[in-house]
């Protein structure tokens, strides 16, 4: 074969190779693993994640505590819920006997010796019976309105547990989606590296053919092999990163680390950065801010509980008692009485070592501290929103530039490959263009990932990520 015919065949082979390569680049590869969609990630995270399961249990605990049976309970020094005889429900107790005077029967064997031997008693058995059941009902219907403050506080505590659950879901879901979209980004870059690897294989063969034909050099042959190996190293490194994110995502989804799956090929941006309405949503829906407000409400209700301790407690009580006791011998062989009584009860703690006064002072400081925390939280979440907004805007611009760079680098790479095959440029020049292509692909994949993270944080700051 002469040199002219060889030069005619190289462009034809080159054109076919590039058509195949770019079709492979655009096509979605067929995977044997199950495809994990965005909907799957959200659903499985919410259903299975460990932290979310704990948060669900906390909601149930708050619901269990929010009942009128736990409202009340005497003097409160810490704003906690204690069951007792004061509150919205009366206390009813039934008693029958005690360790000192048990309910039932007894038998005693006595031996007595006196100065007069005729009066001695030896091993005499005495039988006795004793019954003393009672029922007591007590209800404090006025306790300085503390019972209503406590019930309101329990309502707020249940609402707080729901907000804490939502915040847990947001944070956990953000971690899951971060790993998910990073996998997509890595997959995109690996795909571009695989294209570079196929091009590198083609350049290796071409360099060897040129060397055999006497129009190439051994340097090009060695350099193509070195570059080919470097691309393989990059693919392995990216595969390690991909495996790490797959394990992280499986952990978040409460799955075994070796569960294999595939992810989509592209990252889709679903919202647009708009600051004014986003700021309004942040003040209304941000869970960290809402939690701060709810804690402040609970503090104020606790203050009402403490103030109620300074008021008297008024209630009613009633009881019914029955007592029966019998002995075989003795002066009183039978003692039986029964009856009931009822009426009002009143108590007022005038001085309790300044406990109530101290609790009120501490509660005032607690309200001030939580109000400061709320202001700090509002400013922090506003800053988070603004950072995410600016990042979102800039990353969208970077994506547009990245797409343009990828398009230009694809064209430039094709031209450089043609020039190298026709002997119009050196392999070093071609490799420089190929590295620009790899850099453009990497920057585009990273820009898509960074933009998606900005979007997720933008939504989270508004309290809309769970929606």
Q: What integer is the mean pLDDT of 14-23?
A: 43
Tell me 70's DSSP state. G
- The per-residue pLDDT of the chain, averaged, comes to 84
What SS3 state is found at 340? strand
* Beta carbons within 8 Å of 106's beta carbon, 6+ residues apart: 127, 128, 129, 130
Q: What integer is the mean pLDDT of 180-185?
A: 96
Q: What integer is the mean pLDDT of 436-457?
A: 94
Helix 427-461 to helix 355-421 angle, to the nearest 10 degrees? 160
Which has the higher per-residue pLDDT, 20 or 453? 453
What SS3 state is found at 254? coil
Q: What integer is the mean pLDDT of 171-179?
A: 96
Which has the higher per-residue pLDDT, 447 or 129? 447
Tell me 271's DSSP state. -
Q: Which two tokens stand for residue 137?
A: 């009902």
Q: What are the tens digits of pLDDT across the range 221-244? A: 898 899 999 999 999 999 999 999
Q: Which two tokens stand for residue 28?
A: 């979605």
Q: For 3-72+143-312+354-461, CATH number?
A: 1.20.1600.10
Among 19-33, 120-134, 384-398, name the one with the lowest average pLDDT: 19-33
Is-contact 410 26, C-beta < 8 A? no
Is the model's pLDDT at 282 over the cut of 90? yes
- CA dist 275 and 288 (Å) reads 19
Is the model's pLDDT at 295 over the cut of 90? yes
pLDDT of residue 79: 38
pLDDT of residue 199: 86
Q: What are the tens digits of pLDDT across the range 61-111? A: 999 988 887 665 443 333 333 433 446 778 888 887 666 566 666 677 767
Kindly tell me the burial class for residue 39, based on how many C-beta atoms sit within 10 Å of its own C-beta (0-12, 13-18, 19 or more): exposed
Query: Which single residue is written with the structure tokens 């006064």?
Result: 357
Pairing of strands 261-262, 34-35: parallel
Q: What are the tens digits of pLDDT across the range 107-154? A: 777 677 777 777 776 776 777 777 778 898 888 888 888 888 888 999
pLDDT of residue 246: 96
Among 38-42, 72-76, 173-177, 394-398, name the one with the lowest average pLDDT: 72-76
Q: Which two tokens stand for residue 350?
A: 């005038």
Is the model's pLDDT at 403 over the cut of 70? yes
How many residues are recorded in the chain? 467
Contacts 24+ apart (CB under 8 A), 246-250: 246/179, 246/183, 248/175, 248/179, 249/36, 249/41, 249/176, 249/179, 249/180, 249/183
Among 20-29, 103-112, 248-257, name the one with the lowest average pLDDT: 20-29
Is the model's pLDDT at 369 over the cut of 90? yes
Is the model's pLDDT at 15 over the cut of 50? no
Tell me 310's DSSP state. T
Is the model's pLDDT at 377 over the cut of 90? yes
Q: How far is CA 134 from the centre of its chain?
A: 51
Is the model's pLDDT at 159 over the cut of 90? yes
pLDDT band at residue 409 using 50, 70 and 90 as cut-offs:
very high
pLDDT band at residue 329 using 50, 70 and 90 as cut-offs:
low
Is the model's pLDDT at 46 over the cut of 50? yes
Pairing of strands 91-96, 133-142: antiparallel
For residues 204-214, b (16+ Cβ closer than 10 Å) or e, as one string? bebbbebeeee
**Alpha-helical runs (H) found in 214-310:** 218-252, 275-285, 287-308
């Amino acid at each position: 074969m002469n040199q002219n015919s060889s030069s005619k065949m190289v462009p034809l082979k080159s054109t076919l190779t590039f058509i195949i390569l770019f079709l492979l680049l655009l096509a979605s590869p067929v995977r044997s693993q199950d495809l994990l969609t965005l909907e799957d990630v959200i659903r499985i995270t919410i259903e299975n994640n460990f932290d979310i399961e704990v948060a669900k249990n906390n909601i149930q605990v708050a619901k269990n505590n929010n009942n009128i049976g736990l409202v009340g309970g005497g003097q409160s020094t810490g704003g906690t819920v204690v069951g007792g005889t004061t509150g919205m429900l009366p206390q009813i107790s039934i008693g029958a006997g005690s360790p000192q005077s048990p309910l039932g029967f007894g038998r005693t064997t006595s031996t007595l010796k006196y100065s007069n031997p005729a009066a001695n008693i030896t091993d005499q058995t005495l039988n006795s019976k004793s019954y003393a059941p009672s029922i007591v009902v007590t209800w404090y219907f006025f306790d300085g309105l503390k019972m209503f403050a406590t019930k309101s506080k329990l309502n707020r505590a249940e609402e707080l547990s729901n907000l804490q659950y939502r915040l847990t879901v947001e944070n956990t879901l953000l971690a899951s989606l971060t790993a998910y979209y990073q996998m997509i980004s890595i997959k995109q870059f690996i795909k571009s590296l695989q294209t570079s690897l196929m091009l590198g294989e083609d350049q290796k063969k071409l360099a060897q053919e040129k060397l055999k034909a006497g129009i190439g050099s051994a340097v090009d042959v060695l350099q193509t092999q070195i570059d080919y190996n470097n691309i393989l190293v990059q693919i392995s490194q990216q595969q390690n990163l991909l495996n790490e994110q797959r394990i992280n995502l499986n952990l978040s989804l409460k799955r075994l680390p070796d569960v294999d799956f595939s992810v989509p090929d592209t990252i889709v941006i679903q919202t647009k950065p708009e600051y004014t309405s986003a700021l309004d949503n942040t003040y209304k829906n941000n869970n960290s801010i809402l939690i701060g407000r709810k804690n402040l409400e609970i503090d104020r209700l606790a203050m009402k509980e403490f103030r109620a301790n300074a008021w008297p407690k008024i209630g009613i009580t009633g009881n019914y008692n029955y007592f029966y006791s019998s002995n075989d011998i003795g002066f009183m062989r039978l003692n039986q009485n029964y009856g009931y009584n009822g009426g009002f009860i009143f108590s007022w703690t005038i001085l309790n070592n300044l406990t109530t006064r101290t609790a009120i002072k501490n509660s005032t400081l607690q309200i001030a501290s939580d109000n400061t925390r709320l202001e700090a939280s509002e400013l922090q979440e506003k800053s988070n929103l603004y950072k995410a907004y600016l990042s979102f805007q800039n990353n969208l611009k970077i994506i547009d530039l990245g797409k343009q760079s990828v398009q230009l680098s694809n064209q430039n790479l094709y031209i450089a490959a043609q020039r190298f095959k026709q002997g119009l440029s050196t392999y070093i020049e071609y490799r420089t263009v190929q590295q620009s292509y790899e850099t453009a692909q990497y920057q585009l994949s990273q820009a898509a990932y960074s933009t998606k993270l900005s979007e997720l944080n933008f939504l989270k700051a508004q309290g809309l990520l769970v929606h």
